Amino acid sequence: MDFPEDLQYTAEHEWIRQTGTGLRIGITDYAQDQLGDIVFVDLPEVGAALERGAVMAEIESTKSVGEVYAPFSGTVLSVNADVVDEPELINQDPYGGGWLVELADVADDGDELLDATAYRALVE
């Protein structure tokens, strides 16, 4: 299982990438593997203000229904419309084409993030 060194992680199985404009967020290789084939994704409106812990995305697989929570408060800068039409991108490329949401104006109100080594230790 792949956990890139240049990303940070949450205990809720999200990855976070610092971009020039904010934080790009997706679910980890472990999370997509646990969910199985993803067949539905619902993402927030661009511009929506999310409180930390609010539902940021809904993800359904053939096996289950899951929710992704905002790890920090912030404003939705952009969403990945590709995964709405092709949810399997999350299974195929969780850290690339399968990203979910980019948050801007992020508050410093989340839990401390994990590095790749610490996250790997959590799930293995």
Binding site for other proteins (CB under 8 A): 36-37, 39-40, 42, 58, 60-63, 65, 87-88, 91
Minimum distance between the CB of residue 58 and other proteins, rounded to whole angstroms?
Answer: 7
Minimum distance between the CB of residue 52 and other proteins, rounded to whole angstroms?
Answer: 21
Cβ closest to other proteins, residue 33 vs residue 109: 33
Q: Report angle CA 74, 19, 8 to the nearest 5 degrees.
A: 80
Cβ closest to other proteins, residue 19 vs residue 92: 92
CA-nearest of 107, 54, 104, 45 to 79 is: 45
Q: Quickly count: other Cβ atoms within 10 Å of residue 17's Cβ.
A: 16
Cβ closest to other proteins, residue 65 vs residue 107: 65
β-pairing, 55-61 vs 65-69, is antiparallel
Cβ closest to other proteins, residue 78 vs residue 91: 91
Minimum distance between the CB of residue 92 and other proteins, rounded to whole angstroms?
Answer: 11
Q: Write down the H helix ranges in the chain.
A: 29-35, 81-85, 88-92, 116-123
Minimum distance between the CB of residue 65 and other proteins, rounded to whole angstroms?
Answer: 6
Q: Quickly count: other Cβ atoms within 10 Å of residue 9's Cβ.
A: 24
